[in-house]
Amino acid sequence: MRKLNIVLFEPEIAANVGAIMRTCALINAKLHLIEPFGFIFDKRNFTRTSANNFEGCEFQRYDDLNSFFDSIKPLNCYFLTRYGKKPLSDFNFKNIDNDVYLFFGKESTGLPLSLLKDNKSFCFRFPMVPTGRSLNIANCVGIASYEVLRQWDYLDLSFEEVEKGSDYLDR
């Protein structure tokens, strides 16, 4: 069965990682974290921003980009960069039956230039005003994830409120 995978290359801000963990937990995506980090990797750094979804997030850590590629050997990789030539919505995920990997770079400098150059046809950007540099990485993960999930008909995600009941607004 296919799965959405989020890859963070050398994240620098713990709060962003916490927010991304929350998103991954709630959409059933696996998070891949490539070191070094710009913070101490400690549950206490993620508790608030992950809204206590730290345990619910399936994640794996890697020493560096090479160890990630050596252990995963992923197919279907897509790379967020402000240098991308098309939006993610231009890619067709509907016919992909195996895992998809969305790559996001460190907050200050993005993904390595060599990785982007080697994968130019799989680079994407989010359209924005011409003078804009970038969106927050946690927002980018949410936007990109939901585009893939939309094309996959949201896999097995719930369309109903289960805690208060699907008829909550009607009561």
Annotated binding site: 80, 105, 134
* Distances from the Cα of 53 to the Cα of 26, 46, 56, 69, 131, angstroms: 8, 9, 5, 27, 35
Please compute, for residue 14, the number of CA atoms within 13 A of its CA located in the half-sphere on the CB side. Answer: 11
Choose among 160, 83, 67: nearest CA to 126.
Answer: 83
**DSSP element (H, E) containing 4:** strand 4-9
DSSP 46-97: TTTTTTT-TTTS-EEEESSHHHHHHHH--SSEEEE-TT-SS-GGGS--TT--
> What residues form the annotated binding site for S-adenosyl-L-methionine?
80, 105, 134
